[in-house]
Amino acid sequence: MEQITLGRSGVQASRIGLGTWAIGGWMWGGTDEAAAIATVRRAVDQGVSLIDTAPVYGFGRSEEIVGKALAEGGMRERVVIATKAGLNWQDGAVFRDSRPQRLRAEIEDSLRRLRTDHIDLYQIHWPDLESDIAETARVLEDLRREGKIRAIGVSNYSVAQMEAFRAVASLDTAQPPYNLFERGIEADVLPHARETGLTLLCYGALCRGLLSGRMRPGQTFSGDDLRRSDPKFQGDTFPAYLAAVEALATLARERFGKSVLALAVRWVLDQGPTVALWGARRPEHLDALAEIDGWHLDGESRQAIDALLARHVPTPIGPEFMAPPLKRPAGV
């Protein structure tokens, strides 16, 4: 599997990372622990060496599952664990919180849940506009010097916020949403990464399953599934996106003999200094891993992809619906 060094940290990882939001269960309709553990282990056995998680994914559940999955057979030594900090919750409501005392508490909780003595990549999950970025960066730089983390990243930060962070601490990665349907970072974050040596961990590479090729018209989502809040999965918009996926699937099959899922992941990897985070809940969700390496998109195919996207989804919808509130609850 293709490898990449995370920024200037010296930490090397696979260019496909396992995203573990869904296995935490929260906003994905619960979790099956046995299937989740089997998924993590299969990913590692197939060459995926980067596992991305976060405390808020199931309010600790995802980290616990990852820690349990990696605890046997020397698997911890084979992977780069990327987790996050800077989100808090109260009665199930999530809010941004990068105060130093919160970050210090979070690192200890994550180390315990993950059953490890260090985090390979520690990321601030969302910018906290009520905390000083320099102070946040200073805490992470201190954690790096203490040996508790090896590399530093941010997630969902603007270029200006990353520059403010970088003035105080080393910065190796950024984690933005990026896929064939959500391309806002091409205006700023992606060129900034190319210019400054940042590695981008692109979340939502399959756009909440839209680009998996498994969804069908009339499909519904229940319970706390976040796709009930995503405008792409609502009303007349959902069929338009599915039509785009069908057209992409035809292109992938006719030009490359690949699945639409493989096309979507390969497209992300071909954009620059990127890692594609692949969300999976069951081992069979990783079956297409073997389709990714050994080929690239040519210029003509890129143009054809852009043309069919413009035809089917002329006004694409972004991922803004996922952003947590800007302010902490009163009294917190």
1 by Cβ neighbours in 10 Å (0-12 / 13-18 / 19+) ranks as middle
For the chain, the C-alpha Rg in angstroms (whole number) is 19
Packed helices 133-145 and 100-114: angle between N→C axes, nearest 10 degrees: 40
For the chain, strand residue ranges (E) read 3-5, 12-14, 16-19, 50-52, 80-85, 87-90, 93-96, 119-124, 149-155, 173-175, 199-202, 274-279
Exposure of 305 in the CB half-sphere (CA atoms within 13 A):
21
Under a CB-based contact definition with an 8 Å cutoff, are residues 246 and 236 in contact?
Answer: no
Centroid of chain to Cα 132: 25
DSSP secondary structure, 104-139, as one string: HHHHHHHHHHHT-S-EEEEEESS--TTS-HHHHHHH
Contact 83, 119 (CB under 8 A): yes
Residue 19 falls in which region: left (phi positive, over 0), alpha (psi -120 to 50) or beta: beta
Contact 135, 105 (CB under 8 A): no
- Distance, CA of 216 to CA of 207 (rounded, Å): 15
Write down the catalytic residue from 57, 122, 157, 241: 57
57 is catalytic: yes
Q: Taking a C-beta distance cutoff of 8 angstroms, is the pair 87, 95 a contact?
A: yes
Burial 274-301 (b: 16+ CB within 10 A, else e): bbbbbbbbebebbebbebbeeeebeeeb
Placement of tokens 């201190």 in the chain: 142
- Annotated active-site positions, please? 57
